[in-house]
Amino acid sequence: MKTQDRIHDQNYRQAMGRLLVMYTQIDYLILRAVAERIADAPDDETRLMLAKQVGDESRHVRIQQEWISRFGTDPTPIFGARQQAMFLTHFRSLDWLNFLIDMYVCVEALGSEAVEQIVPLADPGTRQSLATPLQDEVDHVAFGLACLRRELAGLSEQARQDTINSIPARLDYLDDSLHNMGVDVPAMFKAVGADYQAVVHTVLQRRQALMDSLQQLRAA
């Protein structure tokens, strides 16, 4: 079935609609977590960039909510109040360095990589609704990784090595936490026609590339 024709397929509309609801919720939770970090960011430039991201995420939520309404999907949240509270509590518990790792490596970089994999499968309207959010995510990831590299560069060699070595376990923990929230992510991707194992493979490649770039910093 051609992607432009999928908009008329009810199974596709239901599956893609639920993915869009989840993605919108995640953007809203990112907005809240980032907003809470503005006051205690390390400098004014970082505070301004965090504030810009809050504005971007707000725009993403509005774009996606408008499209979800036009798309006619069920707007019932994927994540309930308890799950949303768990997300925010986790990010509130982190120091600045680990906030950068969890937010910008796992949620932003790897999360947006996964969303990118469904864009070619989506109908034109859904692709358009994702265009601005995904483009902005490129800037958010670049900002977050620049902050992370700066923080790592300020550590002793041993502390830097220990922090970088801890990142894979942190990513695995966050990935497990998402799956333990009762959301069948593989089924959601498969329902829109995605090869979930191929998606995982691509995300893992992106993860390895990020780790390689940080390892180069360690070796410098």
pLDDT at 3 (0 to 100): 56
pLDDT value for 6 = 63
Write down the pLDDT at residue 177.
78
pLDDT in 10s for each residue of the chain, 220 residues = 555 566 667 888 888 999 999 999 999 999 999 999 999 999 999 999 999 999 999 999 999 999 999 998 888 999 999 999 999 999 999 999 999 999 999 999 999 999 999 899 899 999 999 999 999 999 999 999 999 999 999 999 999 999 999 999 999 888 877 766 777 888 888 888 899 999 999 999 999 999 999 988 755 5
* Whole-angstrom distance, CA of residue 33 vs CA of residue 60: 15
Which H, E and C letters describe 60-123, residue by residue?
HHHHHHHHHHHHCCCCCCCCCHHHHHHHHHHHHCCCHHHHHHHHHHHHHHHHHHHHHCCHHHCC
pLDDT of residue 183: 77
User: 3-219: which CATH topology?
Assistant: Ferritin (1.20.1260)
> In the 8-state DSSP scheme, what is residue 43?
S
Q: What is the pLDDT of residue 148?
A: 97
